[in-house]
Amino acid sequence: MVFRALLALAISSCAASLPPATSPPACPAGHAFVILVRHAEKVSNDPDAELSPEGALRARRLAVMLGNAGVTQLVATDVKRTQQTLAPLAERLGRTTEIRPAREVEALARELRASPDGSVVVVAHHSNGIPRLMRALGVEPPGIAATDDALPENDYGRVVVLSLGCDRARASFVQLDSSAP
């Protein structure tokens, strides 16, 4: 319920950038949504580390948080922890998580920009991928210097909801926190 209200808020903020009502809208359906989440807590610094028990709990909370958001696609990187972060949501929705190479951020951004109107795509990525994806989609990550390449190491709770406008060249966003139960 709260999530749908936030999506409506994102839509209305993008609608303000559309031509006046006297002009026909450029695209009637209008928007695609991208929800960026960092993988949940991991057991170690191993390159392909799995989720810790705390991370598994966060993944289950994320499934509850996004379970009624109208998700149409799930995307994780080729690293176990991103896939495990989306596993409870995929199970809840009866969907398969699509895998993309973690290093190919620009290619993923192009794919996300091409998402059909009405799409709600959840992407689990890494601390260095989230800011890069946001920038590639036209949004400067708040609280992260332009020269920084990554979220803080302990920042696992950030959920960024991007609304991609009709032209897909710009986006607006809201941030949520998946830390609370």
Q: What is the DSSP string of 56-106?
A: HHHHHHHHHHHTTS---EEEEESSHHHHHHHHHHHHHHT-PEEEE-TT-HH
Residue pLDDT, tens place only, 17-70: 334 434 445 555 568 999 999 999 999 999 999 999 999 999 999 999 999 999
Q: Which domains does the chain have, with CATH numbers?
A: 2-17+30-177 (3.40.50.1240)
Chain-centroid distance of CA 138 in Å reads 14
| Residue 9: exposure state from Cβ atoms within 10 A (0-12, 13-18, ≥19) | middle
Tokens of 103: 């290093």
Sequence letter at residue 44: S
The structure's pTM equals: 0.82
Residue pLDDT, tens place only, 160-174: 999 888 766 567 777
User: CA end-to-end span of the chain, whole Å?
Assistant: 16
User: What does DSSP say about strands 120-125 and 73-77: parallel, antiparallel, or unpaired?
Assistant: parallel
Residue pLDDT, tens place only, 95-146: 999 999 999 999 999 999 999 989 999 999 999 999 999 989 988 887 776 6
Four-CA torsion 132, 2, 39, 166, nearest 10 degrees: -30
Tokens of 4: 């749908």
